[in-house]
Amino acid sequence: MDVTRNQVNRSDFNDAAVLPFQLRLDDFALAMQDVYDFFYDVNIRLVEKGLERLDDMLRPAIMSGLLSDMMTASLAKHSRTLTPNGFFNGHPDLIVRGVYPDNCVKAGSEGVEIKTTRKGGGAVDTHGARNQWMCVFVYIVDNRTEPARERAPMSFTEVYLASVSTDDFRKNARGELGTRTATLHRKGIEKLRQNWIYRLSKEFPPFLKATSLGIARTASSKYLGSFSIPILSYPTASAAAKVDPEPANGSNTIPSPSGRIPLTNARKNACGFRLG
């Protein structure tokens, strides 16, 4: 199986995007490339041993958690002012360096919350409505192309960043065994999309986007013969309701003895994803 190193296309970024906390588009480009390089390095070794790619091994929720951790660590590495929140399961994921004691806060307002999802358009569950800067990375994983050796590498297709308030959310009904969550409602999603950071122009087979924004019903007819990535101007009801499940608080994480800095299986020190 051939392994392809994915590359970030700088021309797909929005030069008119509003960026808080002295963030730069280059910060996003470098952080995304860090993740692409990590997957390439790992997949090369896996394929050499006759194993599946990491893209194919991980369940969706685990993949989203892994990418969230990686993007948090790498954005912090390239950012001028942001650093990972040292409080275990604290909010937001990235905080402004020096604002909070020891760069740790259980619930702060100065920073950026990082979310990742396979669902196009930016609709993603959160653990509660907050006034916050929220950044959503949308990605696709090709685990359907056959033969498997021809599968495309994991790709980020959309990135959104916006300042949202509690009024931009709707509360989701809590199931018998579920936890209470909140999702941006229609106007909240529109606010998020207005400040898009990145939209991938690369062409993919339509089925790779069939789950995004409820377009599965039209992918075979509307986009037959076209490999472009469709982006709808507003979310459908199903898109807002069905999003990737977030890992439960504390899942796949091990708190340090101090109870503050989480050590996660996503931290790959050898690849430069270090916190602090």
Q: What is the pLDDT of residues 23-41, one digit of tens each?
A: 999 999 999 999 999 999 9
In Å, what is the CA distance from 143 to each residue of 56, 201, 257? 6, 20, 39
- The answer to whether residue 211 is domain-embedded is yes
Question: Would you state the pLDDT for residue 270?
Answer: 41
User: What whole-number distance in Å separates Cα of residue 100 and Cα of residue 56?
Assistant: 39
pLDDT > 90? residue 18: yes
- The answer to whether residue 271 is domain-embedded is no
- The answer to whether residue 272 is domain-embedded is no
Question: Would you state the pLDDT for residue 121?
Answer: 86
Please provide residue 110's backbone torsions phi and psi, each rounded to the nearest 5 degrees: -95, 90
- The answer to whether residue 5 is domain-embedded is no
**3-class DSSP state of 31:** helix
- The answer to whether residue 175 is domain-embedded is yes
User: What whole-number distance in Å separates Cα of residue 187 and Cα of residue 205?
Assistant: 30
What is the pairing mode between strands 132-140 and 182-184? unpaired
Question: Would you state the pLDDT for residue 1?
Answer: 65
pLDDT > 50? residue 274: no
**Domain membership of residue 146 as a residue range:** 10-266
Q: What is the pLDDT of residues 156-197, one digit of tens each?
A: 999 999 988 878 787 877 666 666 788 788 888 888 899 999
Q: What is the pLDDT of residues 76-120, one digit of tens each?
A: 999 999 999 999 989 999 999 999 999 999 999 999 999 999 988
- The answer to whether residue 95 is domain-embedded is yes
Q: What is the pLDDT of residues 118-133, one digit of tens each?
A: 988 877 777 777 888 9
Number of domains, the chain: 1
- The answer to whether residue 133 is domain-embedded is yes
- The answer to whether residue 148 is domain-embedded is yes
Look at 9-13, 61-65, 234-238 and tell me which has the smallest mean pLDDT.
234-238
